[in-house]
Amino acid sequence: MSARSLVSITDLDRDEILGIFHLADAFKEVAERPIPKVPALRGKTVATMFFEASTRTRLSFETAAKRLSADVMSFSASTSSLEKGESLRDTIETIDAMGVDAMVVRHKSSGVPAQVRAWTKASVINGGDGQHEHPTQALLDCYTIREALAARAGDEEGPEDLRGLRIGIVGDVRHSRVARSDVLAMTTLGAEVVLVGPRTLLPPSLDGWPVKATVDLDSVLGDLDVVYLLRIQRERADSALLPSLDEYHWRWGLTRQRAARLSDRTLVMHPGPMNRGVEIAPEAADLPSSLITRQVKNGVLIRMAVLFHLLGAPAPGLIDVPDVPDVPDVPDVPDVPDVPDVPEGAELPESDGQLARGALHA
């Protein structure tokens, strides 16, 4: 069994998520220094292995690793021996044999990072897999919301988690790994989540998922503390899931008219890259309460925190970790059960014990 990994948000419990936020707070100060670099992970090697295109996630992870003084190896599927027909497993085992401490894996198929974890001794971090999960995106989203609430609280201490917030996730929830991870993270932190989108792009069943869903954006927009817009992939309009991008824009987009009706306390978020004129009007992303550039900035901090959490901590069994002081009881956060069915063609990793909550402590 390999080292501590982050494949799914369910690998972390509430306290671990808040611990990562605490680390990110510390790295925020590091990022503002004249020399924004600390020697914390000197001698560790992080391999970014992107089998699917990405700019921001990959650069964000590489920046984070370098700010912690780790060495970075970069792998792109298009220029690799995969082109010569090498199997995924052989590729992973080759890189593992070179001795890396962490692999950041992105792949178009769901479940690849969970599978990779069985093939390597390194920590595996999911950089986005198919329609399954994108855990670091969800962590940075929740961190960004918490930071915005703290800024609003001024001198008073901001909220510890997201309890009491109503968050609307709008768009192609059905195919979105970001939405899946966000739902898990936000509800673990106590928020109430409502999914909004055309029937064809909502999950076919919410059975066991602690969220609500609606097709009518205007019926919930006024009650939302956070509007989280997902990217609409243009090919969805060609695959008969959407009538047209224009129709999507006026029914589910944050149009100029809807943006004007938003209270100035409503936070607007988007994981990027944005399709202006589809899910968001050109000017809405520049609203004062839009957190979109903060999300990118915080992405580096959260990925530093995740890398440090996984690589900087003592190896299991090396020392006795002192007991962590008791944390006050939290009102029941509903257990997040299995994810609903995903349309055919996508595979989910089996949710066996290895993915269960708390597996990091093993």
Partner 1 sequence: MDADEVSRALKRIAHEVIERNHGLDGVVVVGLQTGGVPLAERLARILKDIEGVEVPLGTLDVAFYRDDIGLRPVLPEEVTSVPVDLAGNTVILVDDVLFTGRTVRAALDALGNYGRAKAVQLAVMVDRGHRELPIRPDYVGKNLPTRRDEVVDVTDDGVSLGELVADRAGR
The answer to the question of residue 361 lying near partner 1 (CB under 8 A) is: no
Residue 35 lies near partner 1 (rule: CB under 8 A) = yes
Of the pair 21, 209, the CB lying nearest partner 1 is at: 21
Q: Any contact of residue 99 with partner 1 (CB under 8 A)?
A: no
What residue type is 138 in one-letter code? A
Interface residue with partner 1, options 3, 6, 23, 140 (CB under 8 A): 23
Q: What is the SS3 assignment for 348?
A: coil
Verify binding: residue 240, partner 1, rule CB under 8 A.
Answer: no
Q: Applying CB under 8 A, what is the total number of residues that bind partner 1?
A: 27
- What's the token pair of residue 151? 């800024």
Dist CA 60 CA 280 (whole Å): 24
Q: Of the candidates 163, 167, 223, which has an alpha carbon nearest to the alpha carbon of residue 195?
A: 167
In this chain, which of 3, 17, 41, 306 binds partner 1, going by CB under 8 A?
41
Active-site residue, from 45, 48, 57, 187: 57
Interior/surface letters 186-202, b for 16+ CB within 10 angstroms, e for the rest: bbbbbbbbbbbbbeebb
The active-site residue out of 134, 174, 231, 270 is 134
User: Which residues lie below 8 Å from residue 63, measured CB to CB, with a gap of 6+?
Assistant: 300, 303
Q: Does 150 bind partner 1 (CB under 8 A)?
A: no
Strand extents, DSSP E, 151-261: 166-170, 192-196, 211-214, 226-229
By CB under 8 A, is residue 26 in contact with partner 1?
yes
288 binds partner 1 (CB under 8 A): no
Quick one: 314 or 328, whose CB is closer to partner 1? 314
- The DSSP code for 355 is G
Cβ count within 10 A of residue 351: 14
Both structure tokens of 277: 């004129």
Catalytic residue list contains 57: yes
Tell me if 210 sits within 8 A of 186, measured CB to CB. no
Amino acid, single-letter form, for residue 323: D
Q: Which is nearer to partner 1, 37 or 276 (CB)?
A: 37
Q: Buried (b) or exposed (e) across 225-242, using 16+ Cβ within 10 A? A: bbbbbbbbbeebbeeebb
Q: Which of residues 67-86 bind partner 1 (CB under 8 A)?
A: 68
Q: Which residues contact 204 (CB under 8 A, 6 or more apart)?
A: 174, 340, 341, 343
Helix (H) or strand (E) holding 136: helix 135-153
> Does 98 participate in binding partner 1 (rule CB under 8 A)?
no
Q: Kindly name the residue from 14, 28, 56, 297 that is annotated as catalytic.
A: 56
Closest by CA to 4, choosing from 338, 326, 313, is 313
Distance of closest approach, residue 37 Cβ to partner 1, in angstroms: 7
Rule CB under 8 A: choose which of 1, 15, 37, 261 binds partner 1: 37
Name which of 312 and 340 has its Cβ closer to partner 1.
Answer: 312
Q: State how far the Cα of 64 lies from the Cα of 73, in Å rounded to an integer.
A: 13
159 or 312: CB nearest partner 1: 312
Q: Is 132 a catalytic residue?
A: no
Judged by CB under 8 A, the residue of 2, 14, 16, 38 near partner 1 is: 38
- CB of 100 or CB of 269, closer to partner 1: 100
Cβ distance to partner 1 smaller for residue 68 or 183? 68
Which listed residue (40, 59, 333, 359) binds partner 1 by CB under 8 A? 40
Annotated catalytic residue 251: no
Annotation says 84 is catalytic: yes
- Per-residue binding string, partner 1, 314-353, x by CB under 8 A, is xx--xxxxxx------------------------------
Distance set, CA 87 to CA 28, 90, 95, 96, 120 (Å):
40, 5, 13, 14, 15
User: Is-catalytic flag, 212?
Assistant: no
Site for partner 1 contains 307 (CB under 8 A): no
What are the catalytic residues?
56-57, 84, 106, 134
Binding site for partner 1 (CB under 8 A): 19, 22-23, 26, 29-30, 33-35, 37-41, 68, 308, 311-315, 318-323
